[in-house]
């Protein structure tokens, strides 16, 4: 049974000549699991905003064509009516979280829909495997992946007919991602329609019934054969382009930690972490959501300090770290945040890269290096999430600091941009002897960016090895969910 139909849909942003979506037509059936893929900036997020009524209810711009839900135009539904029928999980989970505690966030939608208390408790109990944190936990203290699971669970709690998810696997470890996909597949068997905008075809292709591939605002192909989807995954999975031989690293230390601990309140998030990283080394940090990876990166960047931080040794470039002198840290460590919206604030892409550039004459060089030259005059906020992440990385790289920290740099990247990003990072490592620490849940990126690998769990480093550890880790994670 047809539940949603898109008819010749075209959308253009205000004061723009080129349409973001161009004469798109397709229909969705009840119980269908649809994978929406395409290059970064191809229009996937914009299309989801049209499906759930954000366009035209909240976004300005020129719209032609229409989207029909159960035979009626979404423009005729009120936003409240649409919320009961279509649930959406956006890329930027921080923008979707509103409450202090996990439980308050989970029940918020159900309370607004008047769900009886007994039924509310039943739904909460069913969602525990997704959230995987204490219901009394403070949302602010959760990792990016834990917030992602929380937002997904809060949307599922309202039982919408159609579930739209924009890059839902982005911040999730492999085990959590596969469990979510299994749940979504089970929901389609119960009559729910699921649309997932995602680049990680390697994880999702075997669950999807259909692939809609966007390019330049148009549907390039619409496949309902699983073998075609798997073939597309294999075509884009090009590990040979991501490989790079390890170079000799310096005997000097870029980072030296001994018994470093960091706490949120009474609970330690990092527990007696000891780590030595040589100058010019590429270290990949793996681990499940909430294991302390991002916290470690923020401690190294000087964002988390004060009384919560304790250590026996903390040195950067052989210089002892002093809490009262953060200026040294700022001069040698560049951090690319998990959420690029947290570090983009200039009026144009060019200005963003130029702001911290050591050499103003090299701004164009970094724009070209990261494939951003054609976007240089645009405001950062009109970019896709993948493009924003490239911009944030380019802006930090332009500061040419000796230590570069990348927290989930591949989120929102299509395969081509993923390959290019890894090539650029490895080039910086080779040509400038930049020490690179990368947190990622992407197996290809982990393998291609690693001279050495550490695995974290519950705030501790529990395992260390070379590139082979990447393969072993992801295999264990997959086996843990029976795939």
Q: Which of 183-197, 217-231, 251-265, 357-371 has the lowest mean pLDDT?
A: 217-231
For residues 24 and 80, is the Cβ–Cβ distance under 8 A? Answer: no
pLDDT bracket for residue 458 (50, 70, 90): very high
Tally of CB atoms within 10 A around 325: 11
- Evaluate whether 28 touches 90 at the Cβ level (below 8 Å): no
Query: Residue 316 in 3-state DSSP?
Result: strand
C-alpha 232/C-alpha 228 separation (Å) is 6
User: By the 8 A CB rule, do 9 and 212 touch?
Assistant: no
| Residue, of 242 and 61, whose pLDDT is higher | 61
State what percent of residues in the chain have pLDDT above 90.
59
Contact 396, 350 (CB under 8 A): no
Assigned fold of 240-480:
Rossmann fold (3.40.50)
Residue ranges covered by each domain of the chain: 2-237, 240-480
For the sheet with 86-89, list strands across it.
86-89, 162-166, 193-197, 33-38, 210-215, 218-223
What's residue 386's pLDDT?
A: 81
Q: Which residue has the tokens 């929380």?
A: 150
Level-2 CATH architecture, domain 2-237: 3-Layer(aba) Sandwich (3.40)
| Cα(211)–Cα(12) distance, integer angstroms | 24
pLDDT score at 170: 78
pLDDT at site 34: 96
Question: Of residues 285 and 247, which shows the higher confidence score?
Answer: 285
pLDDT at residue 414 tops 90:
no
pLDDT at 245: 47
Angle at Cα 134 formed by Cα 131 and Cα 140, nearest 5°?
80
Residue 272 has pLDDT above 80, yes or no: yes
Helices 144-156/174-189 angle, 10° precision: 10
Residue 293 has pLDDT above 90, yes or no: yes
Q: What is the pLDDT of residue 236?
A: 54
pLDDT at 154 over 50: yes
220-248 pLDDT per residue, tens: 889 886 566 656 555 555 443 444 545 55
Reported residue count of the chain is 483
pLDDT in tens, 34-50: 999 988 888 999 999 99
What confidence score (pLDDT) does residue 249 get?
57
* Stronger pLDDT, 273 or 135, i.e. the higher one: 273
pLDDT band at 255 (very low <50, low <70, confident <90, very high): very high
When comparing pLDDT for 323 and 154, which is higher? 154
Tokens of 366: 């970094």
Measured CA distances, 468 to 240, 274, 441, 454, 464 (Å): 16, 22, 15, 11, 10
Average pLDDT value for residue range 408-424: 84
- Residue 416 pLDDT class (50, 70, 90 cuts): confident
- 110-119, 121-130, 257-266, 370-379: which range is least confident on average? 121-130
Tell me how far apart the alpha carbons of residues 242 and 447 are, in angstroms, rounded to a whole number. 8
**Residue 254 in this model has a pLDDT that exceeds 70:** yes
First to last CA, the chain: 31
Per-residue confidence at 323, pLDDT binned at 50, 70, 90? low
Residue 398, judged by CB atoms within 10 A of its CB (0-12, 13-18, 19+), counts as buried
pLDDT band of residue 344 (cuts 50, 70, 90) is very high
Please give the mean pLDDT across all residues of the chain: 88
The closest alpha carbon to 373, from 358, 343, 357, 353, belongs to: 353
Q: Cβ distance 166 to 89 under 8 Å?
A: yes
């Amino acid at each position: 049974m047809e539940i949603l139909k898109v008819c010749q849909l075209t959308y253009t942003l205000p004061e723009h000549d080129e349409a973001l979506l161009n004469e798109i037509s397709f229909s969705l059936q009840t119980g269908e699991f649809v994978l929406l893929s395409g290059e970064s900036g191809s229009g996937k997020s914009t299309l989801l905003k049209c499906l759930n009524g954000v366009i035209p209810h909240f976004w300005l711009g020129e719209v032609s064509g229409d989207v029909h839900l159960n035979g009626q135009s979404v423009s005729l539904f009120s936003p409240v009516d649409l919320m009961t029928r279509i649930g959406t999980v956006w890329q930027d989970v921080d923008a979707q979280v509103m409450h202090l505690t996990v439980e308050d966030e989970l029940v918020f939608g159900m309370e607004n829909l008047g769900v009886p208390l007994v039924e509310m408790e039943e739904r909460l109990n069913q969602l525990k495997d997704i959230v995987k944190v204490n219901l009394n936990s403070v949302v602010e203290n959760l990792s990016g992946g834990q917030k992602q699971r929380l937002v997904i669970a809060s949307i599922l709690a309202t039982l919408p007919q159609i579930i739209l998810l924009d890059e839902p696997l982005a911040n999730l470890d492999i085990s959590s991602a596969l469990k979510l996909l299994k749940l979504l597949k089970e929901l389609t068997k119960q009559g729910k329609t699921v649309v997932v905008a995602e680049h990680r075809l390697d994880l999702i292709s075997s669950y999807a019934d259909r692939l809609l591939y966007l390019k330049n605002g148009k549907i390039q192909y619409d496949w309902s054969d699983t073998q075609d989807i798997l073939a597309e995954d294999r075509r884009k999975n090009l590990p040979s382009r991501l490989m790079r031989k390890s170079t000799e690293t310096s005997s000097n230390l870029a980072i030296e930690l001994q018994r470093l601990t960091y706490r949120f309140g009474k609970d330690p998030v990092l527990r007696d972490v000891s780590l030595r990283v040589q100058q010019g080394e590429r270290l990949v940090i793996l681990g499940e959501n909430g294991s302390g990876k991002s916290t470690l990166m923020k401690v190294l960047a000087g964002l988390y300090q004060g009384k919560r931080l304790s250590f026996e040794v903390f040195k950067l470039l052989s210089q002892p770290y002093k809490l009262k002198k953060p200026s040294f840290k700022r001069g040698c460590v560049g951090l690319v945040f998990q959420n690029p919206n947290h570090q983009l604030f200039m009026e144009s892409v060019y200005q963003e890269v130029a702001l911290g550039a050591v050499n103003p004459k090299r701004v164009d060089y970094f724009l070209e290096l990261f494939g951003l030259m054609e976007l240089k005059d645009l405001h950062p906020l009109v970019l896709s999430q993948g493009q924003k992440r490239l911009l944030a990385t380019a802006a930090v790289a332009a500061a040419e600091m000796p230590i570069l920290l990348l927290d989930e740099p591949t989120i929102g990247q299509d395969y081509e941009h993923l390959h290019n990003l890894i090539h650029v990072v490895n080039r910086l490592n080779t040509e400038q002897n930049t020490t690179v620490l990368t947190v990622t849940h992407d197996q290809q990126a982990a393998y291609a960016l690693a001279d050495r690998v550490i695995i974290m769990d519950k705030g501790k480093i529990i395992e260390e090895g070379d590139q082979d550890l990447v393969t072993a880790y992801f295999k264990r994670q997959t086996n843990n969910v029976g795939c």
